[in-house]
Amino acid sequence: MARGVKIRVWGDFALFTRPEIKVERYSYDVMTPSAARGILEAIYWHPGMRWIIDKIYVNKPVRFTSVRRNEVKSKISASNVLKAYNGGDKPLYLCSKQEIVQRASAILTDVEYVIEAHFEMTQKANESDNPGKFKDIIMRRLRRGECFHMPYFGCREFPAHFALCEEDDIATAYDDVPEKDLGIMLYDMDYTDPGNIQPVFFQAVMRHGVLNLADCEVIR
C-alpha cells in the first residue's frame, strides 16, 4: 500500500445527493466514492494521477435533518448572450424574486468518515513524476492541513475538515452490524467519453461499518 493513504474527514453537515431525488435533494446514507474522490482531489490532484477509493469507514451514526432554502432555478444562460445581443443592450442579471424556488434538502448531520484510498499513475504524468513524489506531496499536505481548496461533503456549504488517519483500528458506529444493505449507490461518473458522461452505480453493502470498494462490481 505504498500509494495508499487514509484520511479522517468530519463536519457538521453533509449532502450526497441521490441522483434520482435531486430537485428536492435527498442525501445518501453514507458518502459516495465520487464524493470521497472529490475530497481527495481538493487536497491534492495532478493530471498524472488518479484517485481510487478502497474503503469508506462510517464513524458516526447516520442521522438526517432537513433544510428548506430559497434557491434560484436558472443558470446563467450562455445562449442568452446571443439572443439578448440581437434584442438590444439590456443589463445582465438574474432576478432572485422571479427565479426563486423553495427546495427542501434532507441532509446528514454530524458526520465522520475515514477514507482509505490509493492513486494510480496516468499517461499524463510528466517524466519527472513518480508515485513516491506524489505520495510525499500528499503526506506533507495532510500533515500540514494544506489544501487546494477547502474540501466539502457534497455541497460547498458543508465543509469537510480533514486530517491524516494514522490508527490501524478504526472504530466505526456500526461495528456490531455484520451487514447492512444500502441499496444501489452512485459509484462515480464515467468520464472516458467527454461527449457522453455516464453515471456508474454499485451495490453498496456496509459490513461492520465499512463500505469496501476494492473490486466491487459496477453497474451502468
Partner 1 sequence: MGEAIKNRYEFVVLFDVENGNPNGDPDAGNMPRIDPESGLGIVTDVCLKRKIRNYIETVKEDEKGYKIYIKEDVPLNRSDREACTSVGVQETDEKKVTEALKKLKKNEPGTDEKLRDYMCSNFYDIRAFGAVMTTFVKAALNCGQVRGPVQIGFARSIDPVMSQEVTITRVAITTEKDAENKSTEMGRKSIVPYGLYRVEGYISANLARRVTGFSEDDLELLWEAIINMFEHDHSAARGKMAVRELIVFKHSKELGDCPAYKLFDAVEVIKKENVFYPRKYQDYVVKVHEEEIPDSVEVKRMI
Binds partner 1 (CB under 8 A): choice among 90, 166, 167, 169: 90
Nearer to partner 1 among residue 169 and residue 191 (C-beta): 191
73 is an interface residue for partner 1 by CB under 8 A:
no
Nearer to partner 1 among residue 162 and residue 174 (C-beta): 162
**Could you give the CA distance from residue 13 to residue 30 in angstroms, rounded to a whole number?**
12
Q: For the CA atoms of 13, 17, 18, 24, what is the dihedral angle to 10 degrees?
A: 100
Contact 2, 131 (CB under 8 A): yes
Binds partner 1 (CB under 8 A): choice among 179, 181, 196, 217: 196
All three cell numbers of 190, joined, read 464515467
Do the strands 64-72 and 218-219 form a parallel or antiparallel pair, or are they unpaired? unpaired
All three cell numbers of 31, joined, read 458518502
192 is an interface residue for partner 1 by CB under 8 A:
no
Hunting for cell 444500502 — which residue is that? 182
Of 213, 210, 157, 116, give the one whose Cα is nearest residue 14: 157
Of 51, 24, 59, give the one whose Cα is nearest residue 35: 51
Nearest-approach distance from CB 53 to partner 1, in angstroms = 20
| Cβ-proximal residues to 73 (8 Å cutoff; 6+ apart), any chain | 99, 100, 101
Binds partner 1 (CB under 8 A): choice among 158, 174, 187, 202: 158
Binds partner 1 (CB under 8 A): choice among 1, 2, 20, 83: 83
Binds partner 1 (CB under 8 A): choice among 148, 177, 218, 219: 148
Binds partner 1 (CB under 8 A): choice among 22, 124, 156, 207: 156
* Contact residues: partner 1, CB under 8 A: 12-13, 63, 65-72, 74-87, 89-99, 102, 104, 109, 141, 144-150, 152, 156-159, 161-163, 191, 194-197
